[in-house]
Amino acid sequence: MVHPTINKLQDVVAKGDDSKIADLLAENVQFLPPTYWKTWTGRAPVAAILGHVGQVFSDFRYRRIMGDGVDWALEFDCKIGDLDAVGVDLITLNDSGLINRFEVVMRPYKSVGVLRDAIMARVTTDPRFLQYQSALS
């Protein structure tokens, strides 16, 4: 049986609505993106990043869900512009059932590079991220 948080995540992540994504995240959630070796921490910045990702991806769908208890792997495919991409969201839930850790691995390399450029362009022009400027360097 799939955890209710994982079920809801499937409904909201592709829509890019960061307010609905935020409801699924623990206060001190850690997000490990596929685009660089940096961890984002905290509900607000992680929800905003995931909201932007949902707007950059098209034809996003989870195609396989594996897990039990607090550890989940959600395999997905999507398009980033004209490029195809596949990846896995590695999710850890806390005792309250909120996402405590969200790590994304993706391929191919070219698609990940296009994703990084698109997200950086959005984040660096999003006024909400001025306070997180140090996380971008």
pLDDT tens digits, one per residue of 9-68: 988 876 767 789 999 999 999 999 998 888 989 999 999 888 888 889 999 999 999 999
Per residue in 97-107, pLDDT (tens digit) is 999 999 999 99
Tokens representing 22? 């935020």
Domain 4-128 has CATH 3.10.450.50: yes
Mean pLDDT, the chain, integer: 89
pLDDT, tens only, 67-90: 999 999 999 999 999 999 999 999
Ordered by start, the domain boundaries in the chain are 4-128
**Is residue 78 within 8 Å of 85, Cβ to Cβ?**
yes
The band of 130, judged by pLDDT with boundaries at 50, 70 and 90, is: low
The pLDDT, as a whole number, for residue 3 is 94
The per-residue pLDDT for 18 is 77
